[in-house]
Structure 1
Amino acid sequence: MESLLVSTGVVALAEIGDKTQLLAFLLAARFKKPVPIILGILAATLANHGLAGALGAWITATLSPGVLRWILGLSFLGMAAWTLIPDEIDEDETQISQRFGVFGATLVTFFLAEMGDKTQIATVAMAAHYPNPLLVVAGTTLGMLIADVPAVFIGDKLAKRIPMRLVHGIAALMFAALGLATLLGAGAALGF
């Protein structure tokens, strides 16, 4: 259960102000059709984070516990630093809608926007850290929805009232705590 709760919380916080949340704002403003946008976000996140979770599980099975501990610890610390850097959205990511409709545009743009994004990398790291990658994927997907669904309905009004620096700081602290705990052997009981 810890893997579900931690991955949900970390990703929900890290996603606030992230480029995919900005993409949700933009798609909602452009199309004004929340249901296909939300379904597109859900499908894209499940696919993207499912692949990330599988990669994390593969890494766990492939690497020795000592090497894995160092890679994971340093990855979490890197995620802490990366979380403090604000994202920008590329206008080209929203031009796909002419071919695929609202759901398809959301699915494609969210999937591509998440490739190599901090929440995808965090999903890989947490899936490698926790024994049940499916709970991690469920948690990271839930975290994405917690951050992005309100963006679809409330849009820019919400974004202007959220203290982004504070939220990113809290997410960075959570990633740093995971990194330090991993490096100091907190996962030793799990074989890391």
Structure 2
Amino acid sequence: MDALVPAFIIALLAEFGDRTQLLAMALGDRYRRSGAVIAGIALAAILNMAIAGAIGMEIAAYIPHRPVQLLTGIALILAASGVAFRVKAPPTVETWRLGAFLSSAGAFFILAFGDKTQFAIGALAAGSGYPWLAAAGGAAGVTVANVPAAILGERWPQVAPLRWARIAAGILLGLAGIVLIIMALQIG
């Protein structure tokens, strides 16, 4: 549980109002098959977070705990700054002819590969000692964050106060990052 729940919360906060949610909205509206879109998003999230967990496990083998804790704090601050800035529109998938599931899985995997959430979960996986729990929590958080966007489509921003949610998520991620950095540097 040391990695599962924090990873879930970090991923959920980092994805709220992100480009991935805009993509989930577009996919939900285009295909009108939210179940297939969500399944594709879940598969892409599992793959991306498994990569993060594997990289985190590899990092943990070579770097001591305090520097990894510092890295995790920096990753959370970077995720917070990414949440705070205006989101650019995701790439269009209008011309993709792979169907709801494969288009969602492919587009989501490409868009989320190497993003702030994957970086933060990789750092958490390195520091937690439970990289696969971190990966599982991250995948669940990403999926849960995108379910309402896939179901509601373009109505999602009207239902959820995305601007304020992004600000709150940025503050929470930033504070968590600062706490980790202070702990890593043994300040105070």
TM-score using structure 2 length: 0.88
Runs of 4+ in 1 over 6 A off after TM superposition: none
Counterpart of 1:143 (choices 138, 141, 144) is 141
**Counterpart for residue 183 of structure 2:** 185
Among 117, 125, 128, the residue aligned to 2:115: 117
Give the drift of 1:127: 1.1
1:59-74 equivalent positions in 2, closer than 5 A: 59-74=59-74
Provide closer, same or farther for how the CA distance between residues 64 and 9 of structure 1 changes in structure 2, counting only shifts above 3 A: closer
Counterpart residue identity of residue 176, structure 1 = G
Residue of structure 2 in register with 1:161 after alignment: 159
Deviation at 1:121, TM superposition (A): 1.4
Cα distance, 1:28 vs structure 2: 0.8
Contact 1:17 1:86 in 2 (8 A): no
Paired residues for 1:17-32 under 5 Å: 17-32=17-32
Give unpaired runs (5+ residues) of structure 2.
Answer: none
Alignment: residue pair count: 186
Aligned partner of 1:84 in structure 2 is 84
Return the alpha-carbon distance in structure 1 between the equivalents of residues 72 and 9 of structure 2: 18
Residues 119-167 of structure 1, C-alpha deviation per residue, up to 9 Å, x if partnerless?
1112112212222111111111111122111111122223223222321
TM-score, structure 1 as length reference: 0.87
Structure 1 residue ranges without an equivalent (≥5): none
Letter of the 2:17 partner, please give it. Answer: G
In the aligned structure 1, how far is the partner of 2:34 from the partner of 2:176? 34
Secondary structure of the equivalent of 1:160? helix
1:133 aligns with 2:131: yes
CA distance in 2, matches of 1:69, 1:12: 20
Once the 2 structures are TM-superposed, how far is the Cα of residue 51 of structure 1 from its aligned partner?
0.2
- Work out whether residues 49 and 140 of structure 1, in 8 Å CA contact, stay in contact via their aligned partners in 2: yes
- 1-structure distance, mates of 2:101, 2:170: 32
Alignment partner for residue 101 of structure 1, among 99, 102, 125?
99
Contact 2:4 2:137 in 1 (8 A): yes
**2:24 equivalent to 1:43:** no
User: Counterpart of 2:159 in 1: which secondary structure?
Assistant: coil
In 2, the alpha carbon distance for the partners of 1:4 and 1:65 equals 18
Supply the distance in 2 between the matched residues of 1:115 and 1:43 (Cα, whole angstroms): 13
Answer yes or no: is the 8 Å Cα contact 1:96–1:105 preserved in 2: no
Could you tell me whether the CA contact under 8 Å between 2:70 and 2:181 is conserved in 1? yes
In 2, the alpha carbon distance for the partners of 1:13 and 1:68 equals: 21
Superposed CA RMSD: 2.1
Greater shift in the superposed pair: 150-159 or 33-42: 150-159
Cα distance, 1:46 vs structure 2: 0.4
